[in-house]
Chain A
Amino acid sequence: MENGQLRAFWYDGVTARRHVGTAFWHGDDLRLEGDDGETMHVPLADLVFVERGVLDGSYSRKVDDGFRLVFTDPVPEALAARLPRGARFGKWIDGLGLPRAAALFAGISAALVALVLTAPNWLGPRIPPAWESRIGDAMVGDLQDVSCRTPSSDAALARLVKQLDPDNPPTNVSIANIDMVNAVALPGGQVLVFDGLIQESSDPDELAGVIGHEIGHVRERHVMQALLRQFGLSILLGGVNSDIGSTLFGLTATSYSREAEREADVFSRAQMERSNISPASTADFFAELAKQGEGGPGWASWIASHPMPQEREDAFRKAVVPGKAYRPSLSRADYAAIRDACAKDPDVEPFDIF
């Protein structure tokens, strides 16, 4: 059995007195004999390497009671092989080696960061519709009081929406008694068309284009994506603000990604084609907006929330099939009913968004 002896000093962890003496090692055992006569027995398996500045390294015991041992003679190879090595960075990293561990961690971190940054896109559509409805209710609450409804406007809207929404049940579209030129898709699958936009329109086909676009946002689950992007995960806990006015205003300003806008336009055009509604009016509508862009009073809000590059007008213009038998999306009577809804609804409350 291998053995030997070498000079060392140690602290026993009981008092601060240094014990200088000889360490006799025999196999896996150390016997420390101090020059003052005191002896200690320490199995090598009990030792733990501790970094130290002056000499080669000191050893403590696993039981961590303050015991410290330092060899003052050079340590023979055989003993050095049985002594514990210290941790440099930490167990896992020492096991892998620094470069590999760093690369592994970097990969994991990059994946996590990518996941979080793209969360709005992949998390949004996976939020259950019921949850989204609850968020919508928490944000906006009951819109009964501010929606304009007459029996004829309800019927007219229903006829219009059936042409624009292939799903059953179709999206709930209401007219809001708000004097802004805008329309908004609410979380939970509702679309609100503001009366200001209806009054400014000259043609039911323009309304079809706008409402179709908002329904597109609903059906493609863009609303949740946009809310997550704008407010972060806190929106999932029940919303940002309880004041209906500022919330509605905030929703009108919600910015969808360009991709979302494009998808909503594609949806709108597809529905209009399916229902034989001409996209020409919508193209004209966009052109008018672009012209009025720089200072038009009412339209400014629509533009601010729906960026209007030339390509959108061009896309709708190109979608016009020459020679196709288009028909108006609504009859004159229906269109008039919608335009009069807010004036004729006896129950509607006046609403000021500010």
Chain B
Amino acid sequence: MDGLGGLGGPDAPDAETSAFGFYGTWREYLPIALTNLLLIVVTLGIYRFWAKARERRYLWARTRFIDERLEWTGTGMELFVGGVLVILLFVIPYFVATQVGQAMMMRGETAIGLALFVLPLLAIFYLMGVARFRAIRYRLSRTNWRGIRGGSDDPGFRYGWSYMWKTVAGYAAFGLGVPWAMVSLWNQRWRAMSFGPMRFTCSADFSPLMKRYLLFYFSPFLAILAVVAFVFAAAFGLQVDGEFDPQNPPIGLMAAVGIAFLLFYLVLGFVWLAYYAKFFRIVVGEMTLGDLSFEFDAKTWDWIRLGLGDVALLVLTLGLGFVFLGYRHWKFFIAHMQAYGEVDVDGLTQSTTRRARHGEGLLDAFDMGAI
């Protein structure tokens, strides 16, 4: 049995090195990103499926787990087929349903018309959960480590229902059940996943999250109070100063109000990231795989820097820098992931889960992240 570091592979780490390592550089990735961008533009976006496959092949090949690199075995064609399936099986029927529903309502058949509007929305809600589950399943099944891959035997349809009712329940409790819903759903979907012969386990508890969540929950009210107080003070200051001349509006005051609004959303975003950072730390920290346990050590400030960096990249490149976001996010993820424990290479046999044939069409359609 080999422990971590004793496996003797090409990248064998010493005792201090983390179990995860990322060896990519932005200079090396730049040609890939730029050719991806070029081809995406000249194909009006169709190439993005192949671009994503190229990106993942590079990123996985530059990622080390213990002593061996990961490999991405997915193809652009798979993602493309997944996308086309979503259009045929979902987008077109959705479009038809809403048009017919509109016609029905115009004809006075309000009940049927309304149903034709509402049902697709409910279907989307359900499919969001299914999409997230299947995307994780797909990514695990296309990730090889030492020739072994992951996956799930569960097609994800039951998870879709859980996603619906838990999300509704979380929000129905005046929004206070959201941490419970998030953690419970994370546990549920990862417990259905496996790598090789071993199932993931996850038993995270949401209670440590409530403090930060309540901070986020109440921050809008506090912020609005602050804004109102500020506006009053400014108005009062104007009164004392003298007339308010409508021909010369107080630009300073208006600018200050504008900046206050921006800051409001920015600060709200930071408070949310504070909650989310802890959420991610907790859920990953409670996951195990066989004898391995995991840890994610990014702090709130790390997440904020990631977010601000993304915004700066997009703004400075007028949006074209989006091709680099995948690289940034993966690097962030690997840099902060840790694993502890032991791996039995003879016990790590090939996964027996079905290797699904299509990509993350649904996920792409709903534009969600998988993890």
Enumerate chain A interface residues (CB-CB to B < 8 A).
11-18, 50-55, 58, 60, 64-68, 89-90, 93, 98, 101-102, 105-106, 109, 112-113, 237-238, 242
A90 cross-chain contacts in B, Cβ below 8 A: 47, 50, 76
Given A16-B349, A66-B148, A67-B147, 6 additional A-B pairs, CB 8 A: A13-B148, A17-B146, A65-B350, A68-B146, A90-B47, A242-B106
**23 A-B contacts (beta carbon < 8 Å):** A13-B350, A14-B350, A15-B345, A15-B346, A16-B148, A16-B196, A17-B146, A18-B9, A18-B146, A18-B345, A51-B61, A52-B71, A53-B69, A58-B71, A66-B148, A68-B71, A68-B144, A90-B50, A98-B35, A105-B42, A109-B42, A109-B44, A237-B99
B:340-371 near A, CB below 8 Å: 343, 345-350, 355
Q: With A15-B345, A66-B147, A237-B99 as given contacts, are A50 and B38 in contact (CB-CB < 8 Å)?
A: no
A54 cross-chain contacts in B, Cβ below 8 A: 10-11, 69
Enumerate chain B interface residues (CB-CB to A < 8 A).
7-11, 23, 35, 38-39, 42-44, 47, 50, 54, 57-58, 61-62, 68-69, 71, 73, 76, 99, 103, 106, 144-149, 196, 343, 345-350, 355
B47 cross-chain contacts in A, Cβ below 8 A: 90, 105
- How many angstroms between the C-alpha atoms of A60 and B10 in the bound complex? 18
Q: Name B348's contact: one of A16, A50, A51, A106 (CB within 8 Å).
A: A16
Distance of A91 from chain B, by nearest CB (Å)? 9
Instruction: Name the 7 nearest CB pairs between A and B, nearest first.
Output: A11-B147, A16-B348, A66-B147, A105-B42, A106-B42, A16-B146, A16-B345
Q: Name B44's contact: one of A50, A65, A67, A112 (CB within 8 Å).
A: A112
Q: Are A102 and B345 neighbours in the complex by a CB distance under 8 Å?
A: no
B11 cross-chain contacts in A, Cβ below 8 A: 54
Q: Are B35 and A89 neighbours in the complex by a CB distance under 8 Å?
A: yes
A66 cross-chain contacts in B, Cβ below 8 A: 144, 147-149, 350
Distance of B236 from chain A, by nearest CB (Å)? 43
B38 cross-chain contacts in A, Cβ below 8 A: 102
Distance of A74 from chain B, by nearest CB (Å)? 16
Q: With A16-B196, A68-B147, A109-B42 as given contacts, are A52 and B69 in contact (CB-CB < 8 Å)?
A: yes
Closest B residue to A105 by CB, please name it. B42
Q: Are A238 and B103 neighbours in the complex by a CB distance under 8 Å?
A: yes
B71 cross-chain contacts in A, Cβ below 8 A: 50, 52, 58, 60, 68
> Which of A16, A58, A66 has the most chain B CB atoms closer than 10 A to its own CB?
A16
Closest A residue to B148 by CB, please name it. A16
- How many angstroms between the C-alpha atoms of A14 and B145 in the bound complex? 12
Closest B residue to A90 by CB, please name it. B50
Distance of A325 from chain B, by nearest CB (Å)? 53
- How many angstroms between the C-alpha atoms of A15 and B144 in the bound complex? 12
B76 cross-chain contacts in A, Cβ below 8 A: 90
Distance of B342 from chain A, by nearest CB (Å)? 12
Closest A residue to B23 by CB, please name it. A53
Distance of B365 from chain A, by nearest CB (Å)? 21
Distance of A261 from chain B, by nearest CB (Å)? 32
B44 cross-chain contacts in A, Cβ below 8 A: 109, 112-113
Q: Are A102 and B149 neighbours in the complex by a CB distance under 8 Å?
A: no
A51 cross-chain contacts in B, Cβ below 8 A: 57-58, 61
- How many angstroms between the C-alpha atoms of A14 and B347 in the bound complex? 10
Closest B residue to A88 by CB, please name it. B54
Distance of A25 from chain B, by nearest CB (Å)? 21
Distance of B231 from chain A, by nearest CB (Å)? 38
Q: Are B349 and A18 neighbours in the complex by a CB distance under 8 Å?
A: no
Closest B residue to A72 by CB, please name it. B10
- How many angstroms between the C-alpha atoms of A68 and B148 in the bound complex? 10
A68 cross-chain contacts in B, Cβ below 8 A: 71, 144, 146-147
- How many angstroms between the C-alpha atoms of A64 and B357 in the bound complex? 12
Distance of A56 from chain B, by nearest CB (Å)? 12
Q: Are A12 and B147 neighbours in the complex by a CB distance under 8 Å?
A: yes
- How many angstroms between the C-alpha atoms of A68 and B347 in the bound complex? 18
Distance of B297 from chain A, by nearest CB (Å)? 24
Closest A residue to B63 by CB, please name it. A53
> Which of A53, A66, A242 has the most chain B CB atoms closer than 10 A to its own CB?
A53
Distance of B149 from chain A, by nearest CB (Å)? 6
Q: Are B350 and A105 neighbours in the complex by a CB distance under 8 Å?
A: no
- How many angstroms between the C-alpha atoms of A292 and B23 in the bound complex? 74
- How many angstroms between the C-alpha atoms of A18 and B346 in the bound complex? 10
Q: Are B61 and A52 neighbours in the complex by a CB distance under 8 Å?
A: yes
A14 cross-chain contacts in B, Cβ below 8 A: 147, 349-350
Q: Are A93 and B39 neighbours in the complex by a CB distance under 8 Å?
A: yes
Closest A residue to B80 by CB, please name it. A90
- How many angstroms between the C-alpha atoms of A106 and B43 in the bound complex? 7
Q: Are A53 and B73 neighbours in the complex by a CB distance under 8 Å?
A: no
- How many angstroms between the C-alpha atoms of A52 and B23 in the bound complex? 12
Q: Are B73 and A60 neighbours in the complex by a CB distance under 8 Å?
A: yes
B148 cross-chain contacts in A, Cβ below 8 A: 11, 13, 15-16, 66
A113 cross-chain contacts in B, Cβ below 8 A: 44
Closest B residue to A69 by CB, please name it. B147
Q: Are B43 and A109 neighbours in the complex by a CB distance under 8 Å?
A: yes
Distance of B250 from chain A, by nearest CB (Å)? 34
Distance of A109 from chain B, by nearest CB (Å)? 5
Q: With A52-B71, A68-B147 as given contacts, are A16 and B343 in contact (CB-CB < 8 Å)?
A: yes
- How many angstroms between the C-alpha atoms of A101 and B43 in the bound complex? 10
B147 cross-chain contacts in A, Cβ below 8 A: 11-14, 16, 66-68
Q: Are A64 and B343 neighbours in the complex by a CB distance under 8 Å?
A: no
- How many angstroms between the C-alpha atoms of A240 and B42 in the bound complex? 34
Closest A residue to B7 by CB, please name it. A18
Q: Are B349 and A15 neighbours in the complex by a CB distance under 8 Å?
A: yes
Closest A residue to B9 by CB, please name it. A18
Q: Are A17 and B69 neighbours in the complex by a CB distance under 8 Å?
A: no
Q: Are B10 and A55 neighbours in the complex by a CB distance under 8 Å?
A: yes
Q: Name B346's contact: one of A17, A105, A109 (CB within 8 Å).
A: A17
